[in-house]
Structure 1
Amino acid sequence: MSSISQSIRQQVVSEAKQCCEYCMTQQLLIGMPLVIDHVIPRSAGGSDKRENLAACCYRCNEFKGAKTQATDPMTGEQAPLFNPRQQIWSDHFAWTNAGTHIAGLTAIGRATVETLKLNNDYIVEARKIWVAQNWHPPEL
């Protein structure tokens, strides 16, 4: 059983406006609750304190795993993954193709887009439907 209390979980999701803090997918659209991600994994010394927790969809959580850095596909250099507790999403990412794709604007953004597969075929197809219904992208 997790040591993160239900009240902290609710606070994390509420502060994230019920969106995954990596791909910005709304909890309502994925039809399942968001999970709590340890930005710095416990295995790397991360804590259960609020400042290390982020709301995350299952897909992003699965792809992120215990990673904290990855290769920037543009430079080939290692870059830290996006940290929603310390960084602003719009500084590192932008919506492209009418809101169906996420572009990495920085090394951090590009490494995160690639590692978390933020533009995988399944999510892009879903985003097309959401955009057509004016449900997506969410207001930042």
Structure 2
Amino acid sequence: MSKYIPESLRNQIAISDKRRCCYCLTSEANSGIPMTHDHIHPRSRGGETTFENLCLACRSCNEFKADLTEAIDPVTGKITPLFNPRIQIWSDHFHWSSDATKVEGLTNIGRATVICLRMNNPVIVAARRRWTTSGWHPPDD
């Protein structure tokens, strides 16, 4: 847990983000893995430690995002901004595959984010399959 993020801000983020990754929607309760705090606009690029610039992210999404703010949309081949969970709505850019194991991008932002953050890596897809069987997945909101 980052000591430079005040506890009151960490609590605000946890409640707002429903204790799940704002990118792939992995739940801390389902995965058992504590969420990390992602600077949407990275600190290394001048991003501030504010509610508007922080969100919860699973370790995998956070590590692959690193300090990136854009990626290539695989359909258009153009450089595209990554999804910003503080100003964009998840369901406008993503949806679940018919078996609820894969995040699918609906827009250039969604597609670029899915690829860049490797949101459908084999480990998480297998876990989502188990969560779906248990009725924990996908989130109903």
User: Could you tell me the TM-score, scaled by structure 1's length?
Assistant: 0.97
Distance 1:7 1:39 in 2: 19
Distance 1:46 1:2 in 2: 17
What is the percent sequence identity of the aligned residues? 49
SS at match of 2:104: strand
**What is the letter of the counterpart of residue 14 of structure 1?**
I
Q: Which residue of 1 aligns with 2:93?
A: 92
Aligned-pair Cα RMSD in Å: 1.0
1:78 aligns with 2:79: yes
Displacement of 1:29 in angstroms is 1.4
Q: Which residue of 2 aligns with 1:119?
A: 120
Distance 2:33 2:92 in 1: 28
> Runs in 1 of length 4+ with deviation above 3 angstroms?
none
Offset from partner CA, 1:79-104 (integer Å, 9 cap, x none): 00000011000000000132101110
Distance 2:125 2:78 in 1: 27
How many residues align? The count is 140
Q: Which residue of 2 aligns with 1:23?
A: 24
User: Could you tell me the TM-score, scaled by structure 2's length?
Assistant: 0.96
Displacement of 1:18 in angstroms is 1.1
1:58 aligns with 2:59: yes
Distance 1:13 1:79 in 2: 28
Distance 1:99 1:64 in 2: 23
List gaps (5 residues or longer) in structure 2: none
**What is the letter of the counterpart of residue 105 of structure 1?**
L
Structure 1, 30-39 or 62-71: larger mean CA deviation: 30-39
Distance 2:14 2:73 in 1: 28
